Chains A and B, each alone.
Chain A
Amino acid sequence: MPRKIRSERGELIKKRIFGEFGVFTFALPKIAEEVMPGQFVMLKIKDEKDPLLARPFSVFYAEDKVLELFVKRVGRTTTELFALNTGERVNFLGPLGNAFKNAGSSVVLIGGGSGVAPLNFYARKYGFGRFLIGFPSYLEGLFDIFPDGVDIVTEDGSFGKKGYPTDYLSGDEGIVYACGPLPMLRSLEKKRSKNLENTYVSLESMMGCGFGICAGCGVKKRKEEGYFRVCSDGPIFSFSRIAI
């Protein structure tokens, strides 16, 4: 059923770069006021025909007419974003997709790389039991942007715990909210095999529109034939309903 979305111009008011990651703060009054943790926006830097499509990004934080993205530089649009100067304006569509249910402050949050974005918004708005984040390595200043009490895991052990965030789950936790690369989600699925119902993941998919009109995004249903739309049925799904 329809959700209200809007197109809004946002002005970059602050940018902080940490290697291949960056936090981008936009003045985006309307979307910032409406967006909930777990939801995403579609971002288009230039009003040009190439690159043609906007790109999906989860919201890292939003408050007081300001919205933040946490982005990994991987290709054309993300590179354009890293090169953007404060004062420049870009186009957003949002808020899009479903949100994490507020399950209180005992939830375990687990994020890998750019997947930490939606969990950070949850952590700051509703609190958390544990908040595990995983990155390849130490990056100067990066870990200061997360809330107090966050559990940092680096693959090479250069900061915090060593390994992957899923290494530090027992599998018996209550509700778990997660977002990250496919290998992380696969090991999460194994770890939480008895608790998939209570394990919620925010998924990524190639997206044409971001709001359910192109049928270009999808994830396989676990229990029946066919696909869910990642953009409008998700991006957040109980692991018990999807197959990756």
Chain B
Amino acid sequence: MLKVKLRDVEFKNPIITAAGTFGKGYELADSFDLSKLGGIIPKTITLKKRAGNPFPRLVETPCGLINSIGLENDGIESFVKNTYPVLKRLPVKIIASISGETIEEYVELLKILVLETDIEVFEINLSCPNVEKGGEEFSQDVEVLTDLLLKIRDVTERLLWAKLPPDVYGIIDRVRAVVSSGFDAVVLSNTYRATYVDVDKMSYSLAKEHGGLSGPAILPVSLYIVKEVKKAFPDFPVVASGGVFSVEDVVRYILVGAHLVEIGTMNFVKPEKVFTLPDELATYLHRKKKSLGEIRGYLIS
């Protein structure tokens, strides 16, 4: 009843944990039932190990959180050797998020993952605000973006999603590049560039001065972006991400056309909650006497 199909890949339900907000993917495996979820996205993988940015890396803001983690991860070699064997045994679909500093790095990462794992879905992170090279950089220029996307598409037939930075003005051109490169979905959106100031210390709250804002504060803006994109590309699948803290928020994104919804910051505060969202969504649909397909894009068409 909650199943979602993207091309030939079936997701048990539309609820997925977002990259960077669910650790390596297995930390909560003994505490909660991972098989409840539509999928999980482990922390973004890079070619080399990254220690991440200096601390403090987090600051709480009104209804939100700014992070400047800086893609801390053990690198692809360790992912394949140490993390993936554990993930493979979990009763849940794994979606791998990758980020490179150059186009070649993205291509190499994907080649390794296609060769060494059975992962069916890849989220190409083009939107990390916290790294000096790569990340958001590739999303700035539509030509560069298109070149990158085409080269990535060449590597594999498996499902590819492009995760873009939020932008309330120029998003349509970038999504057009994603669509025309033959990608299977666009993920909207990552965190918003943001900063905060500690008045007592008379300093920036984060060691890196700024980072990316997530949490309930961003929901209305990310929801707007999904709506605009779905209006421009009604048939192109969108994976929504930003500020979800309840089943109502999940429904909001589905009503403006999202196929899948990623849950991020909420996992820090209420780690148990994401596992009940699929049942809560089923209850909502039952109450409305509608199917998931009937409410998806209800406000768009």
Give the B-binding residues of A (Cβ under 8 A): 1-7, 44, 49-54, 93, 205-218, 225-227, 232
Contacts and interface: CB of A to CB of B under 8 A. Distances in A.
A22 B62 CA distance: 27
A34 B123 CA distance: 38
A208 B55 contact: no
A225 B74 CA distance: 13
Contact of B64 (A52, A54, A212, A213): A52
B208 to A, nearest CB: 13
Contacts of A44: 269
A53 B69 contact: no
Interface in B92-114: none
Interface stretch (B3-11, B26-34, B163-171, B232-240): B26-34
B52 A215 contact: yes
Nearest to B17: A213
- What are the 6 closest A-B residue pairs judged by CB atoms, nearest first? A213-B23, A216-B58, A209-B268, A2-B30, A226-B51, A49-B216
Given A2-B26, A206-B55, 7 more contacts: A3-B30, A7-B270, A52-B269, A54-B269, A205-B55, A214-B23, A216-B57
A13 B199 CA distance: 37
A236 to B, nearest CB: 18
B52 A93 contact: no
B219 to A, nearest CB: 10
A50 B63 contact: yes
A216 B215 contact: no
Given A5-B31, A215-B57, A209 B271 contact: yes
B260 interface: no
B118 interface: no
Contacts of A2: 26-31
The secondary-structure label for the interface of chain A is: loop
9 contacts: A3-B31, A4-B30, A52-B215, A53-B269, A208-B65, A211-B27, A212-B27, A213-B27, A217-B58
Contacts of B64: 52
Contacts of B52: 215, 218, 227
A44 B72 CA distance: 27
B267 interface: yes
Contacts of B29: 2
A50 B243 CA distance: 13
Contacts of B43: 215
B31 A214 contact: no
B84 interface: no
B139 interface: no
Given A213-B23, A215-B43, A53 B272 contact: no
A209 B155 CA distance: 36
A216 B67 contact: yes
A4 to B, nearest CB: 5
Contact of A49 (B51, B55, B245): B245
Interface in B54-86: 55-60, 62-65, 67, 69, 72
B60 A213 contact: no
Given A52-B63, A213-B21, A215-B20, A7 B272 contact: yes
A232 B51 CA distance: 16
B265 interface: yes
A54 B65 CA distance: 12
A70 B67 CA distance: 29
B22 interface: yes
B271 A52 contact: no
Contacts of B216: 49, 52
Nearest to A7: B272
B167 to A, nearest CB: 24
Contact of B63 (A49, A210, A232): A49
Nearest to B243: A49
B55 A218 contact: yes
A130 to B, nearest CB: 33
